[in-house]
Amino acid sequence: MIDVKCLASGSSGNSYAIDDGESVLLLEAGIPAKKILSGYLDLFPRVAGALITHEHQDHAKGAAGIAAKGIDLYATAGTFEGISDIDRPYRKHVVRIGEQFNLVSWTVLPFETKHDCNEPCGYLIYSHAARERLLFATDTFYIPNTFRALNVIMVECNYSLPILNESIAEGRIPESLKPRLLRSHFGLENVKDCLKANDMSTVRRIYLIHLSGNNSNPETFKKEIQRVAGKPVTVF
């Protein structure tokens, strides 16, 4: 069974690890490298690599630092163009949308996402050791693909429109940010639609990630997703 760990989730930084008992993948490096290294210290002997979805700092801040400590990075060419401080080029491995690759006990398939950056992606990840398939999708307002035989889903659930509108009315965020948010992040209703579009019969758990500090409600989101999907939900 794939074990999911989280050091940070949200606009201030994202860092996750998945462990199938044989090897470990890091997902994102959006906090300082020292925190990643110390937070996953017991896992590092088995880390096969780090998958990065895009170049924004809350997802790639620590990428150069963990590369300097011997962790190989996997990302699209567009993402690597936006991370300028990696001084270990041999640690950079370019992935391509729709082309799967193998990392120790994992097979990884990058897929297209929709975000305001250069060549972002999500990852469909299969563990040969655990015989489970995990979907990792964050920082996107839409997922153009559907997936089969999923066991674990890690998906952004950033905001709900009513809470967003309330935040704007109460002055917590400027209204000028709303168009960008709607065209770059996954809202609650879009997450529901995404889950409905996929076969949920084999899913054992859903993890909601990257919730907005101003525009979300963890308990409400958990209840709503559990109601729609009929599966256990954990909020990071």
pLDDT of residue 99: 98
Secondary structure class of 49 (helix, strand, coil)? strand
Residue 230 has pLDDT above 90, yes or no: yes
pLDDT in tens, 153-189: 999 999 999 999 999 999 999 999 899 889 899 999 9
How far apart are alpha carbons 14 and 39 in whole angstroms?
Answer: 13
Rg (CA), the chain: 17
Confidence band of 191 (pLDDT split at 50, 70, 90): very high
Question: Which residues span the domain enclosing 137?
Answer: 3-235
Q: Are strands 233-235 and 205-209 parallel, antiparallel or unpaired?
A: parallel
Number of domains making up the chain? 1
Residue 84 has pLDDT above 90, yes or no: no
pLDDT in tens, 43-82: 999 999 999 999 999 999 999 999 999 999 999 999 999 9
Whose tokens are 């937070």? That residue is: 39
pLDDT of residue 86: 94
CATH number of the domain bearing residue 170: 3.60.15.10
Q: What is the mean pLDDT of residues 3-25?
A: 98
Q: Tell me the pTM.
A: 0.96
